[in-house]
Structure 1
Amino acid sequence: MAERIVTGLKQPLEFAGTSLKPSASAGIALYHGGNGTVGDLIVNADLALYLAKAEGRGSYQLFATTLRDKFEEKANLERELREAITSQAFAVHYQPQVSLQGGKVIGVEALVRWEMAGRNVSPGEFLPVAEKAGLMPALGRIVFAKAIRTAAEWHRAGIDFGRLSLNVSAQELREADFACHLLDLLKQEGLPTRLVALEIVETVMLDDENTGIGLTLKRLRKAGIRLELDDFGTGYASLAHISANEVDRLKIDRRFVRDIDKNPANTKIVKAIIELARGLGISIVAEGAETDVELFWLHDLGCPAVQGYGIAFPMPSSQAEAWLATHSLAPHRTEAIHVA
């Protein structure tokens, strides 16, 4: 019955010379007896409807008890996340980026970490919850403050870290005072704008026309902050945005780097992105390199820089500082890989 209703509502409607294409999603909960109330039944149906919408709309879903468990789990995580933001209970780890030509450190990416009740919560678990709950601006400012303070300390100590890369979401960029806040923070901590880059995903580039994001990014680039396009090749950015006037660096997504020596398609994609960036005068870095073989192939394809477990894991500030100090005294092993 649900399938007939959903299919029937998808039929085009002609109105005033225009074809309208409606659709509907349905959530279904069945009463099996027991102590449940009508209110409980409606809540269960609503949870099933939520799932139907989340999985692409225009479909139906049946309620299951596991669905309520997942909903309660997310609600609890959101509550814990709000409390963690209030107490600023987040750490920042740093993952180095190095040149494949000589092993020189060209940057470090700041990555948020959260430990809750003795458990390390994966960013892939809590960041989507933060984004859905509208908490990214508050979370982002905590990460920015801690990362910029650390980088400023390294800068004053003469530790070469290249450039600090900060991930920023569309929610944060829509904040009216985002640019002012970031520039004031850099001035307050004494970190030059030339040592900072913002990483955005491709969908942010498509979102700038109606939200003022484009103006914010232009203002920050004019102030000297670099702009990097993260996870390149996995989104929908128009090539009109991929120019030296809009972006300073492209980051090749890890899924194209993984098993590059075994996957001819990945090899062609990475080579095409490298040639595109070189032709447009944009720098490039490959993410997710984990093995010597992947590092060798990236070097052989002409990729200038890399970031990944094959170079270094994300580290707390103290470990990152020691790694940077040690690394500046000796060439990186990628040179040996190339020679071999």
Structure 2
Amino acid sequence: MNSTLRAGLSGRRAQISGWLRGAHMLAFLPALSLAGFWLGGEMMLIAIALGLPALYGISSGARNRLDPDAPLPDLVDSAAAPGLAQQLIDRAVAVNLSTACLLVEAEGLDSVARQSGDAAAQALRSALLKRLRGLMKRGDKVMRTGDSRFMILLAPSPRLDLEALLTLADRVQRTLEEPVSFETGTHYLSVSIGFCGSLRFQDKPSGAQLVEAAQTALTEALTQGPSAIRAWSDSMRAQRRARKSLLDEVERALTKGQIQPWFQPQICTSTGRITGVEALARWIHPERGIVPPMEFLGALEQARQLDRLSEVMLQHSLTAMRGWDAAGIDIPRVSVNFSDIELRSPHLVERIKWELDRFAMPASRLGVEVLETVIADSPEGVTARNIVGLSQLGCQIDLDDFGTGHASIAALRRFTVHRLKIDRSFVTRVDRDEDQRRMLAAVLGLADRLGLETVAEGVESVAEHALLSQLGCDHVQGFGIARPMPADQLAAWAGQHAERIAGAQKLGRGAS
């Protein structure tokens, strides 16, 4: 057989083999099955029907496996990470060395995308990946596994103990947190890292176990605030199980109606009358009693249920308002907190309008509380349009935790903010700290010049209440006035409060 013929046959075999390994094979499955039936009967038909799809699956799986010796693409499916880790573990064990997995979360990329566009965020991801690859040594595997997540798999090494890995994680963090400058401006990110070395396990771990341990450590780092580094430990495994149990339980609690609003009154400093209430989420657990929001809001966020929580809070709050109206209790307004996730919903304004119409409630009686950081980070886009749309609908926009973010005066005007909620950090000890008093007076003066009402949060003493009134703060709320309470208890409290105010006014008129 001459070389030309051999080459032709070889190419033809490769082509046929390619068809059998690819999706083309499934297109020929009916014809092959029919031929098999005529030639070999039912047994041949069954063999073809079962064998070819299995062959296709095997060949597809082989193509999807990443070769650790080949250069990795910039973005790797996270499902492939355990396989890569397993190959490195096998190599390390074969030569009595160790390996490790580091997971890196670059926090702030979503803000860059909102403020400067997706192209700027992608350029920043590429710059971070380039920095990482330049930092690591030959044989280490560096890849991106998500929009803001990077993975490092270390080549087998004789010294990857806890101290060495902490030093490496610190170096990675400092390198990635260096500012990056583009035409869109200079960007600053915070970086959290979770890691685990194969030496942390008593026996040889699987690739999946190593990656999962690094993931657990990263989750712990992210809960500890920005720029945290955590190494995996056995205790984290129990904590992860507890969080998983809480996650499952809190989702069921939301479905069963165990999470509902409690209401904290807001009082006018001039008249003492109730000017509104803030709806605050409380979990009424059948065994543990009242679970504070700090223990379950994070779980709801992780479960992507914050939008559902906002729906529940709004519906219960409007139901409570209708009940107070029917009982003759004067509660002018209820304020509901909306997360940045809910504010990004393209159908938010239409949904709230529908709920208000359903309860026959004017929009002016609904306060929408928005964190100052949300306004500062969202000058454009869906969030901005939603806030403006809710204001145009007639809802009152309250800027929550004012003084902790960086919202400009122009942003206060553009978003038609009605009230500033002064963070409790400005209120605490204001009656005893002169510097605190001057700072609070400056904030109140700014609000007055802008024509905005003010609500001071966290008022805990009569002295604080009196001083805020003297400085010109319009409304106050806090434990010094009343703690959050269920709707029925608030109705009773409001009735008693109205009697106290009326009694005080009679005394005042009698004295005059």
The TM tier, using the shorter chain, reads 0.7 to 0.9
The equivalences for 1:46-125 within 5 A come to 46-52=215-221, 60-119=229-288, 120-125=290-295
Checking the alignment, whether the CA contact within 8 Å between 2:338 and 2:368 is kept in structure 1 is: yes
1:233 to 2:403 alignment: yes
1:279 to 2:444 alignment: no
Structure 2 partner of 1:243: 413
By how many angstroms is 1:207 displaced? 4.0
Partner SS, residue 309 of structure 1: coil
Checking the alignment, whether the CA contact within 8 Å between 1:29 and 1:44 is kept in structure 2 is: no
Taking the aligned partners of 2:494 and 2:226, their CA distance within structure 1 comes to 48
Residues 51 and 106 of structure 1: CA distance in aligned 2, closer, same or farther (over 3 Å): same
Structure 1 partner of 2:347: 177
Checking the alignment, whether the CA contact within 8 Å between 1:244 and 1:280 is kept in structure 2 is: no
1:313 to 2:478 alignment: no
Residues 26 and 81 of structure 1: CA distance in aligned 2, closer, same or farther (over 3 Å): closer
Residues 228 and 70 of structure 1: CA distance in aligned 2, closer, same or farther (over 3 Å): same
By how many angstroms is 1:240 displaced? 2.0
Structure 2 partner of 1:194: 364
TM-score by length of 2: 0.59
Of the three residues 196, 205, 210, the one matched with 1:37 is 205
Taking the aligned partners of 1:304 and 1:21, their CA distance within structure 2 comes to 37
Structure 1 partner of 2:439: 269
Of residues 55-64 and 111-120 in structure 1, the stretch that sits farther from structure 2 once superposed is 55-64
Partner SS, residue 159 of structure 1: coil
Taking the aligned partners of 1:272 and 1:24, their CA distance within structure 2 comes to 36
Checking the alignment, whether the CA contact within 8 Å between 1:103 and 1:333 is kept in structure 2 is: no
Deviation readout 1:215-265 (Å, 9 max, x if unpaired): 112222112110000111112222321238620000111122122122333
Checking the alignment, whether the CA contact within 8 Å between 1:285 and 1:306 is kept in structure 2 is: yes
Partner SS, residue 408 of structure 2: coil
By how many angstroms is 1:26 displaced? 5.2
Unaligned runs of 5+ in 2: 1-163, 508-512
Of the three residues 411, 420, 426, the one matched with 1:256 is 426
Of the three residues 319, 322, 330, the one matched with 1:160 is 330
- The one-letter amino acid of 1:276's match is L
Unaligned runs of 5+ in 1: none
Taking the aligned partners of 1:304 and 1:207, their CA distance within structure 2 comes to 27
By how many angstroms is 1:37 displaced? 3.2
Checking the alignment, whether the CA contact within 8 Å between 2:194 and 2:232 is kept in structure 1 is: no
Deviation readout 1:193-222 (Å, 9 max, x if unpaired): 111111110122134345411111222211
Checking the alignment, whether the CA contact within 8 Å between 1:208 and 1:214 is kept in structure 2 is: yes
Taking the aligned partners of 2:478 and 2:192, their CA distance within structure 1 comes to 43
Deviation readout 1:25-71 (Å, 9 max, x if unpaired): 45133535645633434422332244445556777432222322322
Checking the alignment, whether the CA contact within 8 Å between 2:198 and 2:205 is kept in structure 1 is: no
Taking the aligned partners of 2:197 and 2:426, their CA distance within structure 1 comes to 42
1:10 to 2:175 alignment: yes
- The one-letter amino acid of 1:204's match is V
Larger Rg computed on CA atoms: 2
By how many angstroms is 1:5 displaced? 6.6
- The one-letter amino acid of 2:428's match is R
State the identity as a percent: 30
By how many angstroms is 1:278 displaced? 0.3
Checking the alignment, whether the CA contact within 8 Å between 2:426 and 2:439 is kept in structure 1 is: yes
Taking the aligned partners of 2:461 and 2:487, their CA distance within structure 1 comes to 24
Taking the aligned partners of 1:140 and 1:43, their CA distance within structure 2 comes to 32
Residues 78 and 36 of structure 1: CA distance in aligned 2, closer, same or farther (over 3 Å): farther
Checking the alignment, whether the CA contact within 8 Å between 1:243 and 1:282 is kept in structure 2 is: no
Deviation readout 1:9-38 (Å, 9 max, x if unpaired): 828899x9xx99998845133535645633
Of residues 263-272 and 137-146 in structure 1, the stretch that sits farther from structure 2 once superposed is 263-272
Checking the alignment, whether the CA contact within 8 Å between 1:85 and 1:139 is kept in structure 2 is: yes
Checking the alignment, whether the CA contact within 8 Å between 1:6 and 1:26 is kept in structure 2 is: no
Taking the aligned partners of 1:114 and 1:20, their CA distance within structure 2 comes to 39
**What is the RMSD computed on CA atoms of the aligned residues?**
3.3
Deviation readout 1:261-299 (Å, 9 max, x if unpaired): 223332122111110100100000101111111112212
By how many angstroms is 1:103 displaced? 0.3
Partner SS, residue 141 of structure 1: helix
Partner SS, residue 241 of structure 1: helix
Taking the aligned partners of 1:24 and 1:285, their CA distance within structure 2 comes to 35
Taking the aligned partners of 1:154 and 1:13, their CA distance within structure 2 comes to 53
Taking the aligned partners of 2:440 and 2:236, their CA distance within structure 1 comes to 40
Taking the aligned partners of 2:179 and 2:494, their CA distance within structure 1 comes to 64
Checking the alignment, whether the CA contact within 8 Å between 2:198 and 2:204 is kept in structure 1 is: no
Residues 253 and 63 of structure 1: CA distance in aligned 2, closer, same or farther (over 3 Å): same
Checking the alignment, whether the CA contact within 8 Å between 1:28 and 1:49 is kept in structure 2 is: no
Taking the aligned partners of 2:228 and 2:392, their CA distance within structure 1 comes to 47
Of residues 174-183 and 151-160 in structure 1, the stretch that sits farther from structure 2 once superposed is 151-160
Of residues 259-268 and 302-311 in structure 1, the stretch that sits farther from structure 2 once superposed is 259-268
Checking the alignment, whether the CA contact within 8 Å between 1:244 and 1:281 is kept in structure 2 is: no
Taking the aligned partners of 1:205 and 1:20, their CA distance within structure 2 comes to 18
- The one-letter amino acid of 1:242's match is L
Checking the alignment, whether the CA contact within 8 Å between 2:345 and 2:382 is kept in structure 1 is: no
- The one-letter amino acid of 1:7's match is R
By how many angstroms is 1:164 displaced? 0.9
Taking the aligned partners of 2:363 and 2:405, their CA distance within structure 1 comes to 28
